[in-house]
Amino acid sequence: MHRKPTILDVARLAGVSKSTVSRVLQGNDAPVAETTRQQVLVAMEQLGYAHNAVASSLRTNRTNMVMLLIPNIDNPFWPGVARGLQDTLAAAGYAVVFANSDWNAGQEKALLEMARRNRFDAIAINPAYVPPAELAALGVPTVILGLRQHYAEFDMAGSDSYQGTLLALHYLYQLGHRRIGLIGGNRGNSRSRLRAYHDFHASRKLPVDEELIAAAPYTVEGGRLAAEQLLRQDRRPTAIFAANDVLALAAIQVAFDLRLRVPKDISIVGMDDIESAGTSTPRLTTVAKDKYEIGRRAARFLLARLDGLTPAEPQRAVVACRLIERQSAGPPQTQAHSIRKEASS
């Protein structure tokens, strides 16, 4: 078996010193004459020399690796964010390593420790449990995916879920709904939706019926349990807004199981606009988030920090939501007459 060529072999073939080859490997910023650089590159190609990126990272203090840490890789929301992040970082020479904490505090901590131990250059994270102080202690550029009040010292890129929730509730109100249920996530990042739900009712002088609020994990099973809690009530809601499309699609399944027609008997609106939202039966009305743009803006924040170009103050990218009207929402049947009368008075 032939041994792998070394940097010394390249130096001998190119007729230069080992230190000159090292400078060529450091990139275009290193002080090497262009003719000498070309000699070294030709020698490397002839020998089939593979540059050792680990050794290079020790010299440059860069690994050109960024960790993307999310709590649930099964959630179809994240591929679009990951694509925007990866495309932008790849164009700048960085590789993205995907990590899934699975809503587990210990696993999230272990993955962050791995990023520190392996000297990752930056981190993009949708934090589930890690406190801001521990995240800051890692000492690397970090961007929060989502708008999170408790992480105010970090750059953030995300959609305004509060504004998106108001969009959905206003739309249902305009259709005539007054008893609107909420399937909210049972994690801290669902607080903005709950706050918007209460603020909306206050602005319309509608009483909040706590029986119409159900919290659930962001999973199909969580959505099914929450939907059953709402739809089996004697005075069930005429419409449901779900904190994401996974929960909303699960609610549609439960409605069919209970022989309820969507949207004639129950209107359902989701959030995120994942791919399956446009292919379900009926197709899901939802609040769309520009997932790719969130990832792209997050990556640009990281690149600016890595290049030392951003001010000391944290940066914010708030990507607006928009309502996508499809087939899963319509006027309430049982209250249509009274609501039309109320609207005309």
- Complete domains list, the chain, with CATH: 7-60 (1.10.260.40), 65-159+291-319 (3.40.50.2300), 161-289+324-344 (3.40.50.2300)
Confidence of residue 334 (pLDDT cuts 50, 70, 90): low
- CA neighbor of 241 nearest in space, from 283, 286, 277, 293: 286
pTM of the model: 0.76
Q: How many CA atoms lie within 13 A of 82 on its CB side?
A: 18
Q: Are 240 and 268 in contact (CB under 8 A)?
A: yes
| Largest Cα–Cα separation, the chain | 93
Residue appearing with tokens 């070294």? 40
- SS3 (DSSP) at 185: strand
Going by their DSSP bridges, the two strands 142-145 and 285-288 should be labelled as unpaired
Confidence of residue 213 (pLDDT cuts 50, 70, 90): very high
Cβ of 171: how many Cβ atoms within 10 Å?
Answer: 19
Res. 340: pLDDT tops 80: no
Confidence of residue 5 (pLDDT cuts 50, 70, 90): confident
Per-residue model confidence (pLDDT) at position 25: 73
Which of the residue ranges 59-63, 130-134, 156-160 would you say has the lowest mean pLDDT? 59-63
pLDDT digits (tens, 9 = 90+) for 161-180: 999 999 999 999 999 999 99
Pairwise CA distance, residues 289 & 303, whole Å: 23
Cα–Cα distances (Å) from 10 to 35, 75, 109, 186, in that order, read: 15, 48, 42, 59
Per-residue model confidence (pLDDT) at position 29: 54
Pairwise CA distance, residues 199 & 329, whole Å: 22
67 DSSP β-pair partners: 97, 123
